[in-house]
């Protein structure tokens, strides 16, 4: 069974602060995706990272895939209240037989206060 | 932007009853999925469907569950005899041909078994 552990589980910060969310696994994934989920809604894709060591930027969000493709991080610069939500990492195609399904992480609930 | 549409948004059913959850994936997508999320827990894979057959399923997807794509547009999940522990948000997702395309999730159906 592939597991993706996210840390921290909860994060409450002030507007303007920077933060990093981590996603770690003992499994190697062919790609890793980050989603954001609002209450009562489905996950919405933010980014897909494929290559070990890859860094992608989406405005104030920076995503990195670990060299060994087992871990990833999401860094938010100058957080805003609109960034509040549940952030999920999801690995695809684990080499240990995960096929094409997504294995979701445990989630990080972010709250950005004024 | 194309959407995955799920109906109903909320369904309450009595234990032992059959339920059918419906999804309309994005029209040119080829891969279809069902995931579920029990309240407060992580998103879990149920089943993937490609080329009119199940390509992968999880341990959760037992004989009580079935999927169909009856008419080339709808994608349904049937639970034959619901149990209390089937209460969850059920998400349908679809993706395009390329392996590293992100998944588009629907807004989910909240199933409550009483």
> Has residue B101 been placed in a domain?
no
Q: Residue A88's domain is classified under what CATH number?
A: 2.60.40.10
Q: How buried is residue A40: exposed, middle or buried, by Cβ count under 10 Å (0-12/13-18/19+)?
A: exposed
Mean pLDDT check: name the lowest of A7-21, A87-101, B96-110.
A87-101
Q: Do B108 and A103 touch (CB under 8 A)?
A: no
Residues from chain B that touch A50, judged by Cβ atoms under 8 A, are 100
Q: Which residue range forms the structural domain that includes residue A27?
A: 5-113
Whether the Cβ atoms of residue A87 and residue A31 lie closer than 8 Å to each other: no
How far is the alpha carbon of A32 from chain B, nearest alpha carbon, in Å?
A: 9
> Has residue B81 been placed in a domain?
yes
For chain A, what is the mean pLDDT? 92
Query: ∠ CA(B92), CA(A80), CA(A88), 5° rounding?
Result: 30
The number of angstroms, rounded, from the C-alpha of A40 to the middle of its chain's C-alpha atoms is: 19
> Has residue B25 been placed in a domain?
yes
Q: Residue B21's domain is classified under what CATH number?
A: 2.60.40.10
Q: Which of A4, A101, A108, A109 to mutate to test the interface with B (most CBs of B within 10 A)?
A: A101
Give me A17's structure tokens.
Answer: 């602060």
> Has residue B19 been placed in a domain?
yes
Q: Do A40 and B31 touch (CB under 8 A)?
A: no
Residues from chain A that touch B58, judged by Cβ atoms under 8 A, are 101
> Has residue B107 been placed in a domain?
no
For the segment A53-99, what is each residue's pLDDT rounded down to a tens digit?
Answer: 999 999 999 999 999 999 999 999 999 999 999 999 999 875 544 45
Residues from chain A that touch B107, judged by Cβ atoms under 8 A, are 40-42
- Please give the tally of structural domains in chain B: 1
Residue A1: the pLDDT is 61
Residues from chain A that touch B55, judged by Cβ atoms under 8 A, are 99-100
Specify which residues A34 forms β-bridges with.
A47, A89
Q: Is the pLDDT of residue A112 over 50?
A: yes
Q: Which residue range forms the structural domain that includes residue B87?
A: 5-96
Q: Is the pLDDT of residue B101 over 70?
A: yes
- Please give the tally of structural domains in chain A: 1
Alpha carbon distance A15, A110 (integer Å): 12
Q: Identify residues of B whose CB sits under 8 angstroms from chain A CBs.
A: 4, 31, 33, 35, 42-45, 48, 55-56, 58, 89, 91, 93, 99-108, 110
């Amino acid at each position: 069974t592939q597991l993706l552990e996210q840390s921290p589980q909860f994060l409450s910060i002030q507007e303007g602060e920077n933060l990093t969310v981590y996603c770690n696994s003992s499994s190697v994934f062919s790609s890793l995706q980050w989603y954001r989920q609002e209450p009562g809604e489905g996950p919405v894709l933010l980014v897909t990272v494929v290559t070990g060591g890859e860094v992608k930027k989406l405005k104030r969000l920076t995503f990195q895939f670990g060299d060994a493709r087992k871990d990833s991080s999401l860094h938010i610069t100058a957080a805003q209240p609109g960034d509040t939500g549940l952030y999920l990492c999801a690995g695809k195609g684990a080499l240990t037989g995960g096929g094409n399904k997504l294995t979701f992480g445990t989630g990080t609930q972010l709250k950005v206060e004024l | 932007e194309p959407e995955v549409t799920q109906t109903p948004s909320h369904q309450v059913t009595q234990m032992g009853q059959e339920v059918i959850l419906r999804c309309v994936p994005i029209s040119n997508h080829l891969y279809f999925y069902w995931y579920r999320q029990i309240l407060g827990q992580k998103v879990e894979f149920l089943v993937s469907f490609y080329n009119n057959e199940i390509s992968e399923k999880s341990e959760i997807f037992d004989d009580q569950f079935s999927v169909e794509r009856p008419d080339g547009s709808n994608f349904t999940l049937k639970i034959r005899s619901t149990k209390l522990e089937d209460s969850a948000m059920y998400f349908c997702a679809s993706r395009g041909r390329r392996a590293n395309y992100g998944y588009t999730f629907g807004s989910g159906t909240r199933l409550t078994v009483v």
